[in-house]
Structure 1
């Protein structure tokens, strides 16, 4: 897929411009709502990290119970949950995903910790931060991040970073800077921020993970 090469080149260029190596930025291919043929082509082209928004949709595409499924064919792949998670879906999410990027409240953190212990899985987690304080959007408020992080740590959750989705149609740079500064104060090294329209800006502000869909696969 030519689009993969183009996006990877853009990532490497943006990383070098900020004094970093391109390998310090993980491309998370957003596969939600994309047709299977495009996902299979991406896998054949070498992509191994994918992001899904919904547990049920992800189960259909990536379910571990399919002996001949994609997870069996590509055992080195990693699946990130990048959409809101309801507590009644936690069991399925822990069984399927390799990284949970959307921890945003104590109730969810508690459910994840309990289920990970039951399944004997310790998944890296990100706290999702609602940097724009948007009522309709998931995410912990900026002010509540330190308390939620400590709550997660007390539970034994492996929180490795922060994630955000800036408001639409605004300059994302202040939101990326806010998340970077917050991660520094919290002692976290990973930043999941930046999508197809703004991932290069996110890299300039320290993104370690960029979630790219349409630039790779075209409009859904």
Structure 2
């Protein structure tokens, strides 16, 4: 078993055990956060059966997407901050975007989505811990944002994403995830929507996220090791 195989198996086991603990089975998708990881590792992960990959740095991601375009069934998720001048490339090359946090960005992604492609899957990033340094829509602003985006024809509003403030206590980890899950349910009811995605949980808190209803965990370090960030 290769190092990458071993890491993936450990993460799959953690997800499975967390699902079993709360009587959920096969409901959680693993999003392998491959940012800063070489193309060779992404290719190996694909051969292991992983099909969903998350990227934050656009130029790096575009290079990977081009180099790996022969891999069937691969899905690319943009999970990083979005600048207005990057929306055309994001809208043209990705299947999912998890980090939409303002109406201007949503409108640009909608307008720039190529007609030949299906609607772009969108998760709204929520500033669930109300941190001044974090991006994301505030909870009180979510209804108006959801109402606006749900009317854009080239976007498919799939759900909510959050990166809570770090916590080591499992009970404290669960609180913001519980809030996000309840918010999704309330929005679905208020606007008669069928949002089905809670993008929450990373390497250090995936168990707490799954316990509170996560449908997609974003895992990088536990799969690909410590990252070598650009410029560091």
When normalised by structure 2's length, the TM-score is 0.87
Partner-residue secondary structure (3-state), 1:85: coil
Distance apart, 1:6 and its partner CA:
1.2
Partner-residue secondary structure (3-state), 1:50: strand
Contact 1:166 1:175 in 2 (8 A): yes
Distance apart, 1:11 and its partner CA:
0.6
**In structure 2, C-alpha distance between the alignment counterparts of 1:25 and 1:169, rounded to whole Å:** 22
What are the ranges of 5 or more consecutive residues in structure 1 without an aligned counterpart? 64-68
**In structure 1, C-alpha distance between the alignment counterparts of 2:223 and 2:117, rounded to whole Å:** 34
Distance apart, 1:120 and its partner CA:
4.5
**In structure 1, C-alpha distance between the alignment counterparts of 2:102 and 2:186, rounded to whole Å:** 19
Say whether 1:162 aligns with 2:160: yes
- The answer for the alignment partner of 1:56 in structure 2 is 59
Distance apart, 1:57 and its partner CA:
1.4
Contact 2:92 2:112 in 1 (8 A): no
**In structure 1, C-alpha distance between the alignment counterparts of 2:204 and 2:115, rounded to whole Å:** 39
**In structure 1, C-alpha distance between the alignment counterparts of 2:81 and 2:116, rounded to whole Å:** 21
- Relative to structure 2, which stretch is displaced further, 28-37 or 208-217? 28-37
Q: Deviations over 1:109-134 (max 9, x none)?
A: 11111112656441111111011112
- The answer for the alignment partner of 1:83 in structure 2 is 80
- The answer for the alignment partner of 2:45 in structure 1 is 42
Task: Point out 4+ residue stretches in structure 1 off by more than 3 angstroms.
Answer: 117-121
Say whether 1:16 aligns with 2:20: yes
What is the root-mean-square deviation of aligned Cα atoms in Å?
1.5
When normalised by structure 1's length, the TM-score is 0.92
Say whether 1:199 aligns with 2:206: yes
Contact 1:94 1:121 in 2 (8 A): no
